[in-house]
Chain A
Amino acid sequence: MTRKNNRNRCSLLAGLGASVAVLAFAATPAAAQSSHQPALQDQLDYVAQHGEQTGKFTIVPLRPLVQVRGQEGVVTTQNGIYVIQGPDGNSTVQIGPEGAVVVDAQTKANTPELVAKLKGLLGPTIIRFVFMTNGDPERSGGAKELREAGKAIFGGNMAGQVSDLADEAVHMSHENVLNRLSGVSGDPPADEGTWPKETYAEEEYDFHLNDEGVQFFHVPNAHTDGDSLVFFRRSDVIVAGDIWDTNTYPRIDLKHGGSINGVIDGLNHVIALTIPGNKQEGGTLVVPGRGRPGDEAEVVEYRDMLTIIRDRIKDMADKGMSLEQIKAAKPSYDYDGRFGATSGPWTTDMFISAVYEGVKPQRQRGRAAR
C-alpha cells in the first residue's frame, strides 16, 4: 500500500467521519412543515422559537415578522401582527418598517406593563399610531401611557415647531368615543389623558402605513355607540373589538348606546370583510376583544348563536312575556355552558336583559336606555 493510498484512505474516512457529525447534528427530527394550515404553522414556529409566554400578558403571533428575500436579493420585512392578551382583554399591534400601530390599550393600571411587553416585542420600532376600538376603560384607560411611549411621524414645514404633536404617537378613535370621554354626551368626563386627539365621524376612515392599507369601520350601537373595526388589509387581519368575545356573550353597554342588533350587524360586517382560506379555514384572521383569535368560521358560529338567542327573546317579548318570564325560560341555556356566567362583570342574566332591551316591542319601550 502506497503512502498516497494511505492518505486517500484517511481522506475518505475523514470525509465520512465528517458526514457522521453532519448526520448526528441533522438527526433531530425535522420540523416537517404543515402545508395545509399555514397560519397555524406560523404560530407553532413562533412558539418553538420563543416559547409560550404565559402569565399576565401573553403574546399571540398572528402574522409573525418574516424577512423575505426578493428576486434582486433585497430583504424586506413583511409586517407582523401580534395580539397581546392582557388582564383587560386584547391589544393588537402591527409592526413594520415605518413603526407600529397599536389597537387598544389596557386599563390605566395595566398599561405600563403592556408598554413594557410591547417594547420587548418591538425592539427599536417606534409606536406611531394608537387606536381605541371603543371608550371603555379597558381600552382607553391607558391611552396616554401608550401614546407617550411612541412618536408620530412628523416633519416638513412644521418640523421642530409643534413639539407636542411629535413627542407622542397619534391617538385616534371614533368621534363618539371622544364625546363620551370628554363628557359631551352626558357622562362625567374621564381623565383627559384618555381622550383621543383625533377622531373620525364617518362610516369609514383609512390610511396607509407599513406598506398596507388600514381601515377603521364604525360599528353603530353595538357594544357601545363608538365601536370600530380595524382592518389591516394586506396582513388580512381584522380587530373586531368587543363585538366578539371568545370567552363570554358580548358585553352590551346599553348606557352608552349598545344593542344586540348592533352587535349582530357588526359581526355581519366582519363576515362580509373576511375571506376564508380553502375549506372555510384560515384566510382573514379576526381578533376578538377578549379571548383567542380565530377565523371567519368561528365568527359565523358566534353570529349564529347571537342571532338565534336574539330571535328567541324577541319572539317571547312579542308574545307579551315579561323580562322575568323570559329569563325563567332560559333562552340561552344551550350556549350557557360555553359562554354563560353566573358571576363576574358580565353574567348571562345581564346579557339576557340587554338583549331584551334591544328587541322588546315598541309599546314596552319607555325612556331610552341612555
Chain B
Amino acid sequence: MKGFDLFKRASAALVPAAAAAAMLAGPLAASAQPAQRAAADTRTPKQAAPIDMTGNWVAIVNEDWRWRMVTPPKGDFPGIPLTQAGRDKANAWDPATDGSCKAYGVGGVMRMPTRLRISWVGDDVMKVETDAGVQTRELVFNRDAPAGAAPTLQGFSKAVWDRPNLVPAQVAGGIQVGNAFQPPGGSLKVVTTHHTDGWVRKNGVPYSENAVITEYYDRFADPTGQEWLTVLTIVDDPVNFNTPFLTSSHFKKEPDGSKWRPKPCKP
C-alpha cells in the first residue's frame, strides 16, 4: 500500500508521462547507448563514397600567403610548434635548395599553391595529382602498406570513409518510436606512413620519416553553389613538433583541367 501511495502522489504532481515511464522503465532508456555502426557495407569504396572528390580543384591561397606562394626567408616560421631539433634543422636550411621536392612530399604538398586532379583508379584507389611539383599520391582503401616497402616521398596512404555516427533509435518514455539511421555525408580520412622525410614549408621546416600524417577531406557547396574541398592535415612528428602540426587548406572546383600547369620540383 505504501509503495502505491507514493505513485499516487507522483501522478498528482503531474509528472510528465514520458518522465514517469522512464523512471519506471529505467534500463529501457536509450540515453546511455554508445555510438553504433551500421551493418557491414559490401560496396566497393568507389561505390560507397559519401562525397565525390573527383575532378579538378585549385588551391585558394588566402592563408599563410607569404609562406606558401613564395619561399620565405630562412628562419621565418612563426607559429609552427617546432621542437629544438626541428628549429635547428629549419635554421640550417640551405636556400640554394629552394624548389627541392622535399617541400612537395606528403607532409607539405597539399599546402602548396597547386591544382589537384583527383580520379579513381579501379574501385579502391583514389589518385591525387598535383601540378605543383608534379606529384602523384595514391589513397588506398582496404589494404595496408606492403611489408618491407621502401619509403617514398608520398608514402603509403591508407584511406577510409569516415561516416557520421549512427543516430540511435528514438525512444520516448522507454518505448522505441523510431529507427536508428545513418545520416548522410562523411569525410575521407587518410593516414600516411612509409614516407621519406620532407618539409612542411618551402624554407626547410622539417618533418621526419617517422611522422604520421593524418588528413581529413571534406567537400561542400557554398551559398553560390560553388563546390569546395577542404583538407585538414595533422602532422604528428614528436621529433620535430612538440604538438601535432595542424593546417587546413581549401580548394575550389574548376570545370576542367585547362589551367593545369605542371611545374616540376628539383629532385
**Direct contact between A and B judged by beta carbons closer than 8 A:** yes
Check B15 against A11 for contact (C-beta < 8 Å).
Answer: no
Give the contact-size bracket for chain A: 10 to 19
Bound-state CA distance A15–B16 (Å) is: 9
**Chain B 1-18: CB-based contact to A (< 8 A → 1; otherwise 0):** 000100110011011111
Tell me whether A32 is interfacial, beta carbon within 8 Å. Answer: no
Tell me whether B30 is interfacial, beta carbon within 8 Å. Answer: no
Bound-state CA distance A325–B177 (Å) is: 75
Contact of B14 among A8, A11, A19 (CB under 8 A): A19
Check B4 against A15 for contact (C-beta < 8 Å).
Answer: no
Tell me whether B20 is interfacial, beta carbon within 8 Å. Answer: yes
List residues of chain B with CB within 8 A of the CB of A20.
16-17
Contact of A11 among B11, B16, B17, B20 (CB under 8 A): B11
- Please report which residues of chain B, range 1-49, place their CB below 8 angstroms from some CB of chain A when the two chains form the complex: 4, 7-8, 11-12, 14-18, 20
Give B1's nearest chain A residue, CB to CB: A5
A15-B18 CB under 8 A given contacts A5-B4, A8-B4:
no
- Least Cβ distance of B18 to chain A in Å? 6
Bound-state CA distance A15–B9 (Å) is: 10
Bound-state CA distance A113–B8 (Å) is: 61
Tell me whether A201 is interfacial, beta carbon within 8 Å. Answer: no
Check B15 against A19 for contact (C-beta < 8 Å).
Answer: yes
Check B18 against A23 for contact (C-beta < 8 Å).
Answer: yes
Check A16 against B15 for contact (C-beta < 8 Å).
Answer: yes
Bound-state CA distance A5–B18 (Å) is: 23
Give A12's nearest chain B residue, CB to CB: B11
**Chain A 1-36: CB-based contact to B (< 8 A → 1; otherwise 0):** 000010010011011111110110000000000000
List residues of chain B with CB within 8 A of the CB of A16.
11, 15, 17, 20
**Chain A 192-229: CB-based contact to B (< 8 A → 1; otherwise 0):** 00000000000000000000000000000000000000
Check A19 against B8 for contact (C-beta < 8 Å).
Answer: no
Give A5's nearest chain B residue, CB to CB: B4
List residues of chain A with CB within 8 A of the CB of B11.
11-12, 14-16, 19
Bound-state CA distance A22–B16 (Å) is: 7
Check A12 against B14 for contact (C-beta < 8 Å).
Answer: no
**Chain A 312-339: CB-based contact to B (< 8 A → 1; otherwise 0):** 0000000000000000000000000000
List residues of chain B with CB within 8 A of the CB of A11.
8, 11
Bound-state CA distance A15–B13 (Å) is: 8
- Least Cβ distance of B219 to chain A in Å? 32
List residues of chain A with CB within 8 A of the CB of B8.
8, 11-12
Check B16 against A12 for contact (C-beta < 8 Å).
Answer: no
Bound-state CA distance A18–B20 (Å) is: 12
Check B12 against A23 for contact (C-beta < 8 Å).
Answer: no
Contact of A18 among B4, B7, B14, B18 (CB under 8 A): B14
Give A13's nearest chain B residue, CB to CB: B11
Give A9's nearest chain B residue, CB to CB: B4
- Please report which residues of chain A, range 288-306, place their CB below 8 angstroms from some CB of chain B when the two chains form the complex: none
Check B4 against A19 for contact (C-beta < 8 Å).
Answer: no
Give A16's nearest chain B residue, CB to CB: B17
Bound-state CA distance A17–B18 (Å) is: 10
List residues of chain A with CB within 8 A of the CB of B7.
12
19 contacts between A and B (CB under 8 A): A5-B4, A8-B4, A8-B8, A11-B8, A11-B11, A12-B7, A14-B11, A15-B11, A15-B14, A16-B11, A16-B15, A16-B17, A18-B14, A19-B14, A19-B15, A22-B14, A23-B16, A23-B17, A23-B18
Given contacts A17-B17, A19-B17, 20 further A-B contacts (CB under 8 A): A5-B4, A8-B4, A8-B8, A11-B8, A11-B11, A12-B7, A15-B11, A15-B14, A16-B11, A16-B15, A16-B17, A16-B20, A18-B14, A19-B11, A19-B14, A19-B20, A20-B17, A22-B14, A22-B16, A23-B17
What residues of chain A have their CB less than 8 Å away from a CB belonging to chain B? 5, 8, 11-12, 14-20, 22-23
Leading 9 A-B pairs by shortest Cβ distance: A15-B11, A20-B17, A12-B11, A23-B16, A19-B17, A19-B16, A16-B17, A19-B14, A16-B11
